Amino acid sequence: MKIGLISDLHTDVTLFNKALVPHLIEAVKTAEFDVFVLAGDLARHLVQLSETLNAFHLADLTCQKLFVPGNHDIWATETTDVTSELKCEIISKLCHECGFHPLMEAPFIKEGIGFCGTIGWYDYSFAPDGYDFSDAEYAEKTLMGAVWNDKRYAKWSDTDCAIARRFQVDLETQIATVRNDVSRIIVVTHHVPGVYPIPW
Ligand SMILES: [Fe+2]
């Protein structure tokens, strides 16, 4: 099976990023992938995100298309009441409309290979040992006046650690669901999952 994967197109950051999309689609066609995965960070706004998904949809690619969101995709900026959980739901619907299988929603099996996926999240456990910051300081996402933008725009209903754990449990459930039906499992995440033991 031939699998292609890319992430972080960030089509809303520069015009060059957006201009790459048709070239990428041509490259995917030429490569004749069986499965093509977009692993998050297409765009922060739903309009640009759906435009990009739709560009792949309109290209009539013969491969199966899979998607997991990234942290920029779930930034909740459209209205004051939108949450990151709601954006995940909306993105899944957009995926269905554009011929992408949203891996956050359910695993996918093709030819004995199981694809499981989640955005994942961070619990600070991958911080370098040399840094003397507490978890509370990491949670502030602010240093010397600089702000990590997930602080401003990621609007989850719980703490980073709880969200990371939630998505890891989701991933473990997906893996448990498919493991007896497949010979191999491929996991797609945007963030590296936490360091909790995974019973594989
Ligand atoms: Fe990202």
Which pLDDT score, from 0 to 100, does residue 42 have?
Answer: 98
- Cα 180 to middle of ligand 1, angstroms: 32
In this structure, what token pair is assigned to residue 137? 């300081």
CA 40 to ligand 1 center in whole angstroms? 7
State the pTM of this model. 0.93
**How far is residue 198's CA from residue 176's CA, in Å, rounded to a whole number?**
11
DSSP-assigned beta bridge partners for residue 187:
116
Does domain 3-189 fall under CATH 3.90.198? My reply is: no
- Residue 6 token pair: 């890319």
For the chain, the domains span: 3-189
Ligand 1 centre to CA of 30 (Å) is: 27
What does the pLDDT read at residue 194? 62
Residue ranges in the chain modelled with pLDDT below 50: 200
Among residues 102, 8, 90, 24, the alpha carbon closest in space to that of 56 is found at 24
